[in-house]
Chains A and B, each alone.
Chain A
Amino acid sequence: MSLLDSFWFVLVLKMVSIATLVPVAGLLIGYAELKISAHMQHRVGPYFAGGRWGWAQLIADGVKFFQKEDIIPADADRPVFKWAPALVLLSAVGLFVVIPFGEGDVLVVRDLDIGIFYALAISSIGTIGILMAGWSSANKYSLMGGLRAAGQLIAYELPLVLSVIGVVILAETMSLNGIVEAQASWGIPFIVPQLIGFVVFYIAALAEMSRIPFDMPIAESELVTGFLTEYSGFRFLFFFLAEFANMFTFSAIAATLFLGGYDPIFFDVPVALGPLVLASKIAILVFLMIWFRWTWPRIREDQLQSFAWKWLIPVSLANIAITAVFKVVF
């Protein structure tokens, strides 16, 4: 019996891989964001750190955060204040559990039967962390940021769930591996029959991550970075990392649900290249997020609510109905 057959050894190995992947993905996406935004704005971006192209900029930033004093406001609700960043990062890391990076059981931590259900549930926990951070900071701006995050949760969580149902109906499974296999057997990615679902999912995911145009909980110009205002040092780094990890995981889920995941669909490449195929799809989706962020202004909280309830939810309900009829008839 080799070591790879041992359940515990494999589990620990996977956990270590995820624990490495989260900061690495965070660094890569963070660096991409710095460089892409710089080129969009006719700047060069980080240039000197690391000797070339400023590749070590984010590592230097990370080291800087380690050195900073961990300031907790005197009036803060200390345990809540301390646990909030952990909870936010936990939800980001927890999402990695179900993402299949390749075929079979090896490249996924756990192929849950209710994979997508688990992913949507665990991703909402992050919002509770944001609410905790806003509430416990003893700062009016942070409080408003936290409450905005809670209000946003109500607005986008429903369309996020509803947009996925169409895919689940088509694939007849909630397992993410199963959804990829379904797309492989169909021969087309689900973005073709589920274009509406994809758009709704992507918009709702942007809101879930508090990315522009939905970054009202942070809102630098009004709330002075909202729930993040009182955080410094290592705890701030947690939020920072969670944001980029979330960009990675949500893009991974969107790629898995709608773009065929690790399966290249139209091309014939070796199975072992599955992770690379997924990574390239993630890269496209992440680039879109960065592109939106540096092009658009932020919308207002009430505009998000009316957009979610008047457009996203009816559209995704209609999408479910059409998909269901389609499924029954054909």
Chain B
Amino acid sequence: MLDTQAMAHLSDVAVSIELETADMTLNIGPQHPSTHGVLRLTATVDGERVRDVKPVIGYMHRGYEKIVEARSYPQVITLINRIDWVSGFANEVPFVVAAEKLMELEVPERAQYIRLILTEMARMASHLAFMGSFPLELGAATPLMFAFRDRERVLDLIESVTGGRFHPNFNRIGGVKPAAGSGSATRKQVQDLPKGFLAETRAAMDEVFTSCDQLETLLAGNELFQARAKGVGVLSPEMAMAYGVTGPNLRATGVPFDLRKVEDYLPYGDFDFDVITADGGDSYSRWWVRLQEIRESAKIVQQAIDGIPSGPLQAKVPKIIKVPKGELYVRAENPKGEMGYYLVSEGSGGPYRLKIRSASFSNLSMLPYILEGALLPDIIAIMGSLDFVLGDVDR
């Protein structure tokens, strides 16, 4: 016969067994529809509540930083536009600018304008992909179709100039490549942009404004969308800066930091555009900032088309490109954030060392912080709102 004290103890034990549920380890990814590639998260979950999250990266590591040491400068360009494949063109620019600065080349203004137009179109393509994928992660399928339809329009235009939808490989040291399919380069004719490209692009930008309005009316006022996105994954400006978060994710916390206004890698100073910021720092702000940035990009492209100067597409460069000895860091405002190349040259035909600072890697580094204590559905929403690409994380 048990005494009363032992009975009380036993009943305590029974209660605690009932209430303490074991934590479950949930592997999200690498094969998962919502991890944007092959990110793996090892999450410890208590029911729907997430205790902690460990991102496991490296599945996509292709060793570009090492490969480029054995490639010549023109060859590197084909590799680096595969880093963030959603905005391939924007990846090429800072590297080419770094090489040109070391060579002290004067790039023709028309080439710079074409680079700028295509960079902004790559930004639009990247942000439109986000406009589709983020609502899809919240369960809304229709914005995906709308955004991808519009993105296709932008990609078609990029393709008409560069010959590639995702991997343009269009930049050359000292300028841009003559238009695709317009004859042999040995004849030394100046081959320019395809006929009608500028007019078509200008018209397409008007449609981008319309589709932005469509996406906004479809989602911005939706109670369910707000319930899922507002106040979810809140990031303070201090924490964002401490983690090295850049790009729209940083601007969504209210920090008006945009390298297009700070750096001179492309002639952004000639154009009138706003740095979009939001105050919330939450998923909704990140979505809203990107939506507005599409509009700003369209504005920049229209201004650039109106003001594009005539002239050559290429500066005079030697047949075999050799970059003088030196080292330089060039950073650019890519769709995902700050993209930088630290180029070390020993005077040979290829880089001696290239350090790639990619935006998604730094943006993703705060996942354990921002996901701690979140609910399982919110993990997906927050990851989607950070808009990273695994190629950009692992390089």
Contacts and interface: CB of A to CB of B under 8 A. Distances in A.
B225 A221 contact: no
Contact of B146 (A42, A141, A212, A296): A42
A306 B135 CA distance: 23
B148 to A, nearest CB: 10
A305 to B, nearest CB: 11
A301 B376 CA distance: 10
Nearest to A147: B47
Most chain B CB within 10 A, of A220, A296, A297, is at A297
A220 B137 CA distance: 8
B151 to A, nearest CB: 13
Given A221-B137, A296-B222, A296-B224, A301 B142 contact: no
B142 A41 contact: yes
A221 B375 CA distance: 14
A298 interface: yes
Interface stretch (B26-34, B69-77, B116-124, B274-282): B26-34
Interface string B198-231: 0000000000000000000010001011011000
Contacts of B138: 221, 297-298
B378 A300 contact: yes
A19 interface: no
Contact of B227 (A40, A147, A212, A299): A299
A300 B222 contact: no
Given A297-B222, A303-B227, A221 B145 contact: no
Given A144-B48, A296-B140, A297-B139, A224 B227 contact: no
A42 B149 contact: yes
Contacts of B218: 295
Nearest to A41: B145
Interface residues of B, number: 30
A220 B33 contact: yes
A41 B225 CA distance: 18
Contacts of B234: none
Contact of B376 (A213, A222, A295): A222
A302 B377 CA distance: 10
A215 interface: yes
A294 interface: yes
Contact of A215 (B139, B149, B228): B139
A213 B145 CA distance: 18
A40 B377 CA distance: 26
Interface string A285-315: 0000000001111111111000000000000
A152 to B, nearest CB: 12
Nearest to B137: A221
Interface in A128-185: 140-141, 144, 147
A80 interface: no
Nearest to A301: B48
A216 interface: yes
A296 B229 CA distance: 13
Given A140-B24, A219-B377, A224-B32, A299 B48 contact: no
A298 B139 contact: yes
A68 interface: no
A52 interface: no
Interface in B13-47: 24, 26, 32-34, 47
B136 interface: yes
A150 to B, nearest CB: 12
Contacts of A297: 135, 138-140, 222, 224-225, 228
Interface string B222-260: 101101100000000000000000000000000000000
A4 B135 CA distance: 55
B140 A295 contact: yes
Contact of B141 (A222, A294, A300, A301): A294
B224 A213 contact: yes
Interface string B360-395: 000000000000000111111000000000000000
B36 to A, nearest CB: 11
Given A42-B149, A144-B48, A300 B33 contact: no
B33 A41 contact: no
A300 B378 CA distance: 8
A46 B228 CA distance: 32
Contacts of A299: 224, 227-228
B33 A295 contact: no
Contacts of A295: 140, 142, 218
A302 B379 CA distance: 15
A301 B222 contact: no
B381 to A, nearest CB: 9
23 contacts: A37-B141, A40-B142, A140-B24, A140-B26, A212-B139, A213-B224, A215-B139, A219-B377, A221-B33, A222-B34, A222-B137, A222-B379, A224-B33, A294-B142, A295-B142, A298-B139, A298-B140, A298-B228, A299-B227, A300-B227, A300-B228, A301-B48, A302-B48
Given A221-B380, A297-B138, A300-B227, 11 more contacts: A37-B141, A212-B140, A213-B224, A215-B139, A220-B33, A222-B34, A222-B377, A224-B32, A296-B222, A297-B139, A298-B228
Interface of B: 24, 26, 32-34, 47-48, 135-142, 145-146, 149, 218, 222, 224-225, 227-228, 375-380
6 residue pairs, one from A and one from B, having the closest CB atoms: A298-B139, A41-B145, A297-B138, A297-B140, A221-B34, A221-B137
